[in-house]
Structure 1
């Protein structure tokens, strides 16, 4: 009987351990989606801009977006609010945001 409980516990532990990478990936995905959600007020949900007032971010080239985000942050590209917003993000976070929007369907 003790052996059966030990085997059951080992099986449960193995199943839980195999789920950890998936949970970590889901947490990372949620974190990046949260960062990108801060853009929704102006650029629309999932970067799908509404009207012509502001550019749609969905499907934008990652490298081009990252370049623009860094230009806003450095002040090289004039802006009303983007230069302030981008200063709140690290290089890694800006790259995550650019990657997220580049993967969204247009």
Structure 2
């Protein structure tokens, strides 16, 4: 019997859910790009749909901000040079490449 590693199952289920909803993966020309939107979706629970925080929120919007600025902020959270409640923990869960890809996705949201 073949078993599928748990993370792979969740990724496949997420991709299936996106396909059933008619969503198109971001950066589809990039084979790994399909995972960028899934990683970026984790940010939207606090930063709002597509990275647009609700009006009056103390949590900043990410949509349309420069990629370099977003990467710099995430690196500052990860290193501990920028104080945070939870972002320092979240930032440690991503590689530099993942941070750059997520930042690029949010930078391109208009």
Give your verdict on TM over 0.5. Answer: yes
Q: Which runs of 5+ in 2 are unaligned?
A: 1-27
Superposed, 1:9-24 pairs within 5 Å as: none
Superposed, 1:1-106 pairs within 5 Å as: 25=29, 27-51=31-55, 52-105=57-110
Please state which structure has a larger fraction of its residues in helix: 1
Please report the TM-score for the alignment, with normalisation by the length of structure 2: 0.70
C-alpha RMSD over aligned residues = 1.4
Q: Which runs of 5+ in 1 are unaligned?
A: 1-23
Q: Provide the rounded CA distance (Å) in 2 between the counterparts of 1:34 and 1:82.
A: 18
Please report the TM-score for the alignment, with normalisation by the length of structure 1: 0.72
Larger radius of gyration: 1
Q: What count of residue pairs does the alignment treat as equivalent?
A: 82
